[in-house]
Amino acid sequence: MSWEFKSIPNVRDIGGYKMHDGRTIKYNRLLRGGFLKDASEEDILYFQKIHLRHIFDFRTEGEVSYKPDCNIPGADNLWLPTLDMHTDQKIEQFPAEAYRNLPDYLMTAAFTEKGKETARTLYPSMVVNEYTQLQYSVFIMNVLNTNDGACYWHCSEGKDRTGLGAAFLLAALGADMDVIIEDFDKSNNYYQKRIDIVKERISAIGGGEEELKVIQAFIGVSVENFINAMKLIDSEYGSMEDYLHNQLLLSDDDMTALRNKYLE
């Protein structure tokens, strides 16, 4: 991807990754990132240039109302909140207002048992949640059914929920796990300065390794927690391939069609 987005957080094209069959993902077709509320005219024009067709928004209702996406001509917006907030499998998460100033919120939350537990369990709780699985299934099927142009998926910061969506899509396209982990970890590169600043603040008030892990998980991403979630898929469902088939409802024909459409 030659374009550098100036107004949208943590955007990247997953084009160029090599799959296990030797093919690579096409550029300017599959992009992931953060919210679009502040997208500049130049960034919007770039999306139009690559014929953006679908925007998949993984945020909660509160997040969407606080920072609604801007309109991008030619693209429709499909709201697929991936955090189960209502069923008996409800995923425990920080309150919506925490994300309006997450670093300040974490200064307290990192020292609580609930904060540490939320950091450890967010990814594992999502991969086993049936509501979340359905949302990611709808996402991938819509990517499959996009006949031309590009798709963009996002949450607020383009890292956790967006990262899981990318992981499942990459797996369906035939990526090895090291490629999936590499892509997930790239969010830490984007947010590294912010991570370092908040970690310094935590250390200054007596925070240790456990508190720093909370900061890493919520300002950046926790690769450790992500790998644990991938291992949980293997232990609970047999393999990632089984998970794609049985939980995300993708058939062999679906994955063949997906690969033929987006690989070269």
Distance (Å) of CA 79 to CA 126, 130, 223: 17, 17, 26
> What number of H helices and E strands is found in the chain?
11, 5
Residues 6+ apart with CB under 8 A from 130: 87, 89, 247
pLDDT class of 1 with cuts at 50, 70, 90: low
Strand partners, 57: 79, 154
Q: In Å, what is the CA distance from 245 to each residue of 140, 156, 168, 212, 224? A: 12, 28, 11, 37, 25
179-198 in b/e burial notation, b at 16+ Cβ within 10 A? bbbebbebbbebbeeebeeb
Whether the predicted pLDDT of 226 surpasses 80: yes
Mean pLDDT to the nearest integer, 215-222: 96
Question: What's the confidence (pLDDT) of residue 119?
Answer: 92
Show the DSSP H helices in 70-160 as ranges. Answer: 102-109, 113-127, 130-144
- Give the list of residues 6+ apart from residue 91 with CB closer than 8 angstroms, or none: 83, 84, 85, 122, 125, 126, 129, 132
The two tokens of residue 117 are 């537990």
From residue 78, give the alpha-carbon distance in Å to each of 54, 64, 209, 264: 7, 12, 39, 27
How many residues does this entry show for the chain?
A: 264
What is residue 91's predicted lDDT score, i.e. its pLDDT? 72
Average pLDDT score over residue span 54-71: 93
Tokens of 51: 């014929």
- The rounded distance, in Å, linking the Cα atoms of 52 and 54 is 6
Pairing between β-strand 30-33 and β-strand 12-13 as defined by DSSP bridges: antiparallel
Structure tokens at 178: 């090291």
Q: How many beta carbons lie within 10 A of that of residue 200, not counting itself?
A: 11
What local confidence, expressed as pLDDT, does residue 189 receive? Answer: 96
pLDDT at residue number 92: 65
pLDDT of the residue at 58: 97
Does residue 128 contact residue 236 with C-beta atoms inside 8 Å?
yes
Region for 10 from its dihedrals, namely left if φ exceeds 0, alpha if ψ lies in -120 to 50, beta otherwise:
left
Which percentage of the chain shows pLDDT scores above 90? 86
- Give the pLDDT band (50/70/90) at residue 2: low
Task: Give the pLDDT band (50/70/90) at residue 154.
Answer: very high
pLDDT tens, position by position, 140-150: 999 999 989 99
pLDDT of residue 181: 98
pLDDT tens figures, 176-208:
999 999 999 999 999 999 999 999 999 999 999
pLDDT band at 158 (very low <50, low <70, confident <90, very high): very high
**Across 38-52, 65-79, 87-101, least confident range:** 87-101
Q: Which amino acid, 167?
A: A
Residue with tokens 């908040």: 198
Average pLDDT, the chain: 94
Which pLDDT band holds residue 239 (cuts at 50, 70, 90)? Answer: very high
Q: Residue 53: how many CA atoms within 13 Å on its side-chain side?
A: 13
Read off the amino acid at residue 222: S
Summarised one tens digit per residue, pLDDT across range 94-127 is: 766 777 788 888 989 899 999 999 999 999 999 9
